[in-house]
Amino acid sequence: MSEVEYRGNCHCGAFKYTFKAPEIKANHVCNCSICVKISYLWTFADNIVVVKGDIDTTLRDYEFANHTIKFKFCLTCGSSVLTAKSDGRFAINMRTLHDFDATKLPVGSTNNSAPKDPPYKVPEPVKVDTVPDGTTVYQGSCHCGAVRYAAFLSPETLSEVGQCNCSICHKNGVLWVYPSVSQVIFEGLDSVTEYTFGYKWRRQKFCRVCGVTLAETFTREGPEPETEMGLNARTINGLNLDKLKLTMLDGKADLPAYDAGW
């Protein structure tokens, strides 16, 4: 069977890679705790060629449970690029492939890893004294628990989630809800890295330990400070995303054309 060469990169371009494989016709998903938070779309490769950066220093490793898989993400932009397995093979997050939209492919298989031992322990909730009228408190976190939050969300705020088509949101697989800044209490912000690009008025925040994108804040110029923020609904612990209305957001139209530098 003939092979196709695929190219990929993190969003900031610090890490670039290629690999050869038969034509990719489906994506593979997993329901384990970290795959749900990051929304990986997997394909597999026996080998990769690193074109730019270093797989061990440009990318950070995150391990959990039995420590048989290294989840690798960019320290600069937070893109979750691939995993290195103990058997020497790689699983590639197809969200990072260049000029390739894996979301349009059918699901080839689902790995039912959620029930496997050891079970994932949800991080401790953020202590809340009072809940504002008309809201419900939702607890959320990155995967490792270094960053946690309590969000006071109204039914209207959580009635739908936004899927943005811009380059960074596509790579990170985020789903947005938009509470006011005052409705979210964070703990562990010293473990957060901010990444911005383009017009630099959006700042995505990811955990520098596990690579999960939690939120984004806005810094548009104007007489009044921004009061709204984006919260990644995938990080709300226990939330059934399938029950929420999905709205497509054309963030690509608000930004300069993305250039990966290939």
Domain of 187, CATH number, reads 2.170.150.70
Q: Are 15 and 102 in the same domain?
A: yes
Same domain, 149 and 80: no
Identify whether 125 is part of a domain: no
- Cα–Cα distance measured from residue 60 to residue 139, given in angstroms and rounded to the nearest whole number: 26
User: Per the domain annotation, does 120 fall within a domain?
Assistant: no
User: Quick check: 236 and 139 in contact, CB under 8 A?
Assistant: yes
Q: Is the pLDDT of residue 19 over 80?
A: yes
What pLDDT score was predicted for residue 116?
78
Q: What's residue 5's pLDDT?
A: 97
Residues 139/237, Cβ–Cβ less than 8 Å: yes
Same domain flag for 84 and 16: yes
Overall number of domains in the chain: 2
Residues 148 and 245 in one domain: yes
In this structure, the chain runs to a length of 262
Look at residue 85 in the predicted model and tell me its pLDDT.
Answer: 87
Q: 97 with 186, same domain? A: no
Q: Which residue is associated with the tokens 């999960």?
A: 212
CA dist 95 and 79 (Å) reads: 9
DSSP state of 33: H
DSSP 106: P
| Model confidence band, residue 227 (pLDDT cutoffs 50, 70, 90) | confident
Strand (E) or helix (H) holding 2: none
End-to-end Cα distance, the chain: 27
Quick one: 249 and 144 in the same domain? yes
Does one domain contain both 250 and 149?
A: yes
Q: Which amino acid is at 98?
A: H
198-216 pLDDT per residue, tens:
889 899 999 999 999 999 9
Write out the H or E segment, with its range, that includes residue 35: helix 33-38
pLDDT confidence bin for 219, thresholds 50/70/90: confident
Alpha carbons 24 and 26: distance in angstroms, whole number = 6
In percent, how much of the chain has pLDDT > 90?
84
Asked if residue 25 is part of any domain, the answer here is yes
State the pLDDT at residue 114: 76
Mean local confidence (pLDDT), 99-111:
92
Residue after which a domain boundary falls, among 43, 78, 111 = 111
Question: How would residue 111 be classed by pLDDT, with cut points 50, 70 and 90?
Answer: confident
129 is a domain residue: no
Overall pTM surpassing 0.75 (yes/no): yes
Range of the domain at 106: 4-111
Structure-block tokens of residue 115:
């029930």
Mean pLDDT taken over the chain: 94
Least confident piece of the model among 34-43, 88-97, 252-261: 252-261
Q: Are residues 21 and 88 in the same domain?
A: yes
Q: Establish if 259 belongs to a structural domain.
A: no
Please write down the long-range contacts of 44-47, taking CB distance under 8 Å and 24 or more positions apart.
44/89, 44/90, 44/91, 44/92, 45/19, 45/20, 45/21, 45/89, 45/90, 45/91, 45/92, 46/89, 46/90, 47/19, 47/90
pLDDT tens profile 63-98? 998 888 999 999 999 999 999 988 888 999 999 999
Other beta carbons within 10 angstroms of residue 7's beta carbon come to 17
Domain membership flag for residue 261: no
Would the pLDDT of 226 be above 80?
no
| Confidence band of 139 (pLDDT split at 50, 70, 90) | very high
The predicted model gives 226-235 an average pLDDT of 94
Per-residue pLDDT band at 221 (split at 50, 70, 90): low
> Does the pLDDT at position 222 exceed 60?
no
